[in-house]
Amino acid sequence: MKVKTLGQFIIERQADFPYAKGELSRLLRDIGIASKIVNRAVTKAGLIEILGETGETNVHGEQVKKLDVYANEQFIAAFKAGGEVCAIASEENDDIIPIYSDISKNAKYVVAIDPLDGSSNIDVNVSVGTIFSIYRRKSNVGAPGQLSDFLQTGLEQVAAGYVVYGSSCMLVYTTGRGVNGFTLDPSIGEFCLSHPDIKIPEQGAIYSINEGNYLKFPEGVKKYIKYCQEEDKATNRPYSSRYIGSFVADFHRNLMKGGIFIYPSTAKAPKGKLRLLYECHPLAFIVEQAGGMASDGFNRILEKRVESLHQTTPLFIGSKAMVEKAMEFMKEYSSEKV
């Protein structure tokens, strides 16, 4: 069987953009490399105690870091070394990280990233992920990037993707021409095209939501959950409830099988929990490219403008027919306060 590696695929696709100079291709390649380094650390996470790496220093005399901090550092280092990025916004950093160096002085792009999402699942050997989003800068080339470079709508994303560190490691991304998935073949250390042109089923049979918060959900969500549990053969109901608690892993499963993921407003998080810039926008871009939908319950996620780096939003994302149905319930039973 002839395999196509991520590197080959990126180069082939570059030819689709006649004026592209290869910067985006290099940036995507750098993300692929950093993900492999993070994957190596994630797969060894269970051995940390055995290898004596939970103390202050490891066997190499280096300070031991938590995996999410480690992942953040790996991606930042990759972007700094690559020279294509003039600023980074990360879940791990309160403010943007401007970049300006000899190799990056002509950089056109900014990257928003959640380096290790679902980090509460690391200790228990459950899938975690990375989410990234790439924008063209708004400020002039020739200076470090600025906060304003990130304050765009999701529609302006140039590329977005995620990596799921699961039973295998997969990288899925879009540049606005469909969605493609690559699985890491550990024997050759390469991401290989395994899921070309991913499409999400229009109607699935899975709903994913933290039902522990049920009492504080908006009325529209409560009613929709009951709808999911009712019996109806035409729409595959009752749906199965599946919730890992790692957004990337929950999203990935629903993308493959069809389903809806909801993180609505709750009493604890009146504006939702998930972050617009580096969690919701990128996965909304992917889901739409795969034929699905992403909404805050009333409005399209991609049309929302980022107003602050760590701003959150309620999120309804997944199969088109399911998101549309949930929005019908929101319209009927909840008022728009987002």
Binding residues for ligand AHM (CB under 6 A): 91, 114, 117-119, 210, 245-247, 273
Contact (Cβ atoms closer than 8 angstroms) between residue 98 and residue 87: yes
Select 82 or 166, whichever has its Cβ closest to ligand AHM: 166
Handedness of CA 69, 255, 243, 323 (dihedral sign): positive
30 counts as binding Mg ion under rule CB under 5 A: no
Piece of 111-119, 183-191, 218-226, 290-298 that binds Mg ion (CB under 5 A): 111-119
Residue 210 near which of ligand AHM, Mg ion, none (CB within 5-8 Å, type-dependent): ligand AHM
Residue 119 near which of ligand AHM, Mg ion, none (CB within 5-8 Å, type-dependent): ligand AHM
Residue 246 near which of Mg ion, ligand AHM, none (CB within 5-8 Å, type-dependent): ligand AHM
Task: Retrieve residue 66's tokens.
Answer: 């938590």
Residues contacting Mg ion: total by CB under 5 A: 2
Which residue number places its CB atom closest to Mg ion?
Answer: 117
Between CA 277 and CA 160 the distance in angstroms is 11
Between CA 64 and CA 49 the distance in angstroms is 11
Q: Is 60 exposed, middle or buried, given 0-12, 13-18 or 19+ CB atoms closer than 10 A?
A: exposed
Between CA 194 and CA 182 the distance in angstroms is 5
CB of 173 to Mg ion, least distance (A): 18
Which residues, in sequence order, are bridge partners of residue 88? 97, 111
Between CA 163 and CA 38 the distance in angstroms is 10
250 counts as binding Mg ion under rule CB under 5 A: no
CB of 165 to ligand AHM, least distance (A): 12
Q: Provide DSSP, 208-225.
A: E--GGGGGGS-HHHHHHH
Residue 245 near which of Mg ion, ligand AHM, none (CB within 5-8 Å, type-dependent): ligand AHM
Q: Name the pairing type of β-strands 109-117 and 85-90.
A: parallel
Task: Retrieve residue 116's tokens.
Answer: 């290790």
117 counts as binding Mg ion under rule CB under 5 A: yes
Question: Between 67-82 and 23-43, two packed helices, what is the crossing angle to 10 degrees?
Answer: 160
Q: Which of 30, 68, 114, 288 binds Mg ion (CB under 5 A)?
A: 114
Select 114 or 149, whichever has its Cβ closest to Mg ion: 114
Select 114 or 288, whichever has its Cβ closest to Mg ion: 114
Select 93 or 194, whichever has its Cβ closest to ligand AHM: 93
CB of 218 to ligand AHM, least distance (A): 16
CB of 268 to ligand AHM, least distance (A): 8
Beta strands across the sheet bearing 315-318:
240-241, 206-208, 260-263, 315-318, 293-295
Contacts with Mg ion by CB under 5 A lie at 114, 117
